Amino acid sequence: MGGITGLLMALAVAGGLLAVSLKNVLHAIFGLALTLLAVAGLFAVLGSPFVATMQVLIYVGGITVAMVFAVMLSTVVQKHATESPWRRAGAAVVALGFAVGVGMVIAAAGLPDGPAPELVADAWTVRQIGTSLLGDYNVVFEVLSVVLLLAIIGAIVISRHEGEEKQS
Partner 1 sequence: MPETVTQMVDSPALAILIGIAGVMGALTFNALFLVWLERKASAWIQRRMGPTEVGPFGVLQTIADMLKLLSKQLITPKHIDKPLYHIAPVLVFVPVVAATSLFPFDEHIALSNLDIGLVLVFAFGGLGIVGIFMAGWGSNNKYALLGAMRSVAQNISYEIPLILSALSVVLMVNTMGGPETNGMNLAQVAQMQHDKGYWFVLVQPVAALIYFIAALAETNRAPFDIPEAESELIAGFHTEYSGMRFALFFFAEYANMFIVAMVATVLFFGGWSGPVLPGPAWFFIKTYGIVFAMMWIRWTFPRLRFDQLMSFCWMILIPLSILNLLVTAFIARAV
Give the residues lining the site for partner 1 (CB under 8 A).
24, 26-27, 30, 33, 49-50, 53-54, 56-57, 60-62, 64-66, 68-69, 72, 125-127
DSSP string, 47-99: T-HHHHHHIIIIIIIIIHHHHHHHHHHSSS---STT--HHHHHHHHHHHHHHH
Could you tell me the smallest distance in angstroms from the CB atom of residue 116 to partner 1? Answer: 22
Q: What is the largest CA-CA distance in the chain?
A: 67
- What's the DSSP call for residue 111? -
Give the C-alpha distances (Å, rounded to integers) separating 117 from 2, 46, 112, 133, 149: 14, 11, 10, 25, 39
Q: In this complex, which beta carbon is closest to partner 1, that of residue 119 or of residue 126?
A: 126
Q: In this complex, which beta carbon is closest to partner 1, that of residue 109 or of residue 166?
A: 166
Q: In this complex, which beta carbon is closest to partner 1, that of residue 128 or of residue 138?
A: 128
Could you tell me the smallest distance in angstroms from the CB atom of residue 165 to partner 1? Answer: 21
Q: In this complex, which beta carbon is closest to partner 1, that of residue 3 or of residue 108?
A: 3
Could you tell me the smallest distance in angstroms from the CB atom of residue 93 to partner 1? Answer: 32
Could you tell me the smallest distance in angstroms from the CB atom of residue 6 to partner 1? Answer: 19
Q: Are 23 and 79 in contact (CB under 8 A)?
A: yes
Q: In this complex, which beta carbon is closest to partner 1, that of residue 61 or of residue 90?
A: 61
Could you tell me the smallest distance in angstroms from the CB atom of residue 49 to partner 1? Answer: 6
Angle at 103 between CA 99 and CA 106, to 5 degrees: 140
Query: What are the b/e assignments for 113-150, b being 16+ CB within 10 Å?
Result: eeeeeeeeeeebeeeeeeeeeeeeeeeeeeeeeeeeee
